[in-house]
Structure 1
Amino acid sequence: MKISKLNVYPVKSLGGISLQQATLGVRGLAYDRHWMVVDQVGRFVTQRQLPGMARVSVRLESDWLVLEHPEAEPLAIELASRDRPRLTAYVWDDACQALDEGAEASDWLTAVLGDLRGSSLRLVRFDEEHRRPVESRYLQGEEAHTAFADGYPFLIASQASLDALNRNLAQKGLAPLPMNRFRPNIVLEGAPDFAEDGWRELAAQDGRYRFGLRKPCQRCKITTVDQASGTIDIPGEPLQTLIQMKTQPLRPGAYFGQNATLLGGAGERVSVGDELQVGQ
């Protein structure tokens, strides 16, 4: 089994970046979900509320985070930490310390995405001094924390599982979906479909790093958003099909992929083509 794709999403719910290699950190791949769009009270904003966020593409340059949209000039944010106003940003029930990226970023986002129920939008950066712990009841002796991801530092998915989903969609006369509907960090090939749901650990064959697979990922409305157009063409799919497939027989809902923590290997490089093995 090997890694076939690596993806990082520097700004939560905006476009992803496909990589050939990345640096592993306890909070996830370098720069993953390091920024987030919030409303005026600091509440996180995602494609659940604004599907058009998918149309904002993201680039990482040597010194800049660059956001691009077909209807605006690019926005460049300096990667180096700066003296920025601090605020509290909220992801679900978690209050996180964050840095406000300023009026220019706010104006740019509000112009290309529109306001949210009358609220302008802001771009915030995760305060690296802040620690946002992963829900402890799913951990198995390790400590874990994350940045602005929904709850875990890594999301791991399998190409065979997507292929199985697409076969079920085809039986309904629906077009196959690309993996970007599920926004994983690490995509695997060479394992049976949904085998990942039975794994506890996944490790590089040479032992340089290890992941703990801790919780099946319950999927939401974002999987219904076309990540190229920012539109929802078939409401309810693929969620309805995943529910019918009962990928998690004991859990109600739609599940695809595994939320994971880093058990060892912080600072190591992970690359497309790395051979992996299932741990005990």
Structure 2
Amino acid sequence: MRVTEIWRFPVKSIGGETLLEAELTDLGIAGDRGWSVYDVETGNTLTARRSPDLLFASARIIDGDVVVTLPDGSEVREGDDAALSAWLGREVELRAAGEHNLDVGGTYEVPLDAENDADWVSWQGPGGAFHDSPKSRVSLVSESTMRDWDRRRFRTNIITDGSDEDGFVGTSISIGDARVDVVKQIDRCVMVVRPQPGLGRDLDVLKTINAERETFLAVGGLVTAPGSISLGDEVRPA
């Protein structure tokens, strides 16, 4: 099994960028989910579960700064909250992880009823970066597991050839110079059905994952030995 794609998503729920190489830190790929869109009225971290429009923007890191490209092609940098607010139709702020409290993560929401976007519940994420779970700072999936679904639906950091990444759960793997303890399978929610550029709403994706994969697609883990990873690196037992 070898790495075929590396993805970094600088702003949670906003499209990301592909990389030829990356640094794995104890928080995952350096810069991944390093920023989020904060909803001033609710105090929640805004995600595409609640605001699907986020999926139509993209973000990249240039010289350490985040740049968000909006659907009309205009670019927004950190501090230009007025432009983000005007686009989303609500008062928001682009916040860096740790800007207010390094130990406190975002407050997230998800609808238990995905078909009707109803029965919302919330939870507190881990600090340091805007990840949903303290048990998953970096994610991995094989091309085989994704079938012919568009990889943008899953926001996974590392894509590989081969198959059976689920077998890594409970073990340690090495990728390049880094080591990762694979802790869990990643359960999927309404995010995977949301429309994106060139993709319509597709409830069948989530229904299939629920029926055939018991809600799980991709695996998540914690970086126990930071290091560099590159395209073509072998994924092997540590």
Q: Partner of 2:120 in structure 1?
A: none
Residue among 155, 161, 165 paired with 1:196? 165
Give the conservation status (yes or no) of the 8 Å contact 1:223–1:237. Answer: no
Q: Aligned pair 1:110/2:78, yes or no? A: no
Post-superposition, which runs of at least 4 consecutive aligned residues in structure 1 deviate over 2 A? 70-73, 200-206, 231-234
Q: Partner of 2:44 in structure 1?
A: 43
Q: Aligned pair 1:76/2:77, yes or no? A: yes
Counterpart-to-counterpart distance in 2, 1:72 and 1:113: 15
Counterpart-to-counterpart distance in 2, 1:261 and 1:217: 13
Secondary structure of the structure 1 residue equivalent to 2:204: coil
**Cα–Cα, structure 1 residues 205 and 64, in superposed 2: closer, same or farther, change >3 Å?**
closer
Q: Partner of 1:180 in structure 2?
A: 152
Q: Partner of 2:30 in structure 1?
A: 30
Q: Partner of 1:156 in structure 2?
A: 140
Counterpart-to-counterpart distance in 1, 2:83 and 2:37: 12
Residue identity matched to 1:240: K
**Cα–Cα, structure 1 residues 145 and 212, in superposed 2: closer, same or farther, change >3 Å?**
farther
Query: How many Å apart are 1:66 and its aligned residue?
Result: 1.1
Query: How many Å apart are 1:56 and its aligned residue?
Result: 1.0
**Cα–Cα, structure 1 residues 156 and 256, in superposed 2: closer, same or farther, change >3 Å?**
same
Structure 1, 55-64 or 212-221: larger mean CA deviation: 55-64
Structure 2 unmatched ranges of 5 or more: 106-125
Counterpart-to-counterpart distance in 2, 1:19 and 1:71: 24
Secondary structure of the structure 2 residue equivalent to 1:212: strand
Secondary structure of the structure 2 residue equivalent to 1:24: strand
- TM-score of the superposed pair, with normalisation by structure 2: 0.81
Q: Partner of 2:220 in structure 1?
A: 259
Q: Aligned pair 1:277/2:232, yes or no? A: no
**Cα–Cα, structure 1 residues 25 and 228, in superposed 2: closer, same or farther, change >3 Å?**
same
- The share of aligned pairs that are identical, in percent, is 26
Counterpart-to-counterpart distance in 2, 1:205 and 1:73: 36
Q: Which has the larger radius of gyration?
A: 1
Residue identity matched to 2:144: A
Give the conservation status (yes or no) of the 8 Å contact 1:131–1:146. Answer: yes
Counterpart-to-counterpart distance in 1, 2:175 and 2:74: 44
Give the conservation status (yes or no) of the 8 Å contact 2:98–2:128. Answer: no
**When the two structures are aligned, how many residues end up with a matched partner?**
213
Q: Partner of 2:10 in structure 1?
A: 10
Tell me the alpha carbon deviations over residues 3-43 of structure 1, each in whole angstroms, 9 at most, x when there is no partner.
11110110000111111101110001011101011111431
Tell me the alpha carbon deviations over residues 217-254 of structure 1, each in whole angstroms, 9 at most, x when there is no partner.
1101110023325x7533x2211011121x24xxxxx1
Secondary structure of the structure 2 residue equivalent to 1:238: helix
**Cα–Cα, structure 1 residues 22 and 220, in superposed 2: closer, same or farther, change >3 Å?**
same
Counterpart-to-counterpart distance in 2, 1:11 and 1:52: 13
**Cα–Cα, structure 1 residues 64 and 155, in superposed 2: closer, same or farther, change >3 Å?**
same
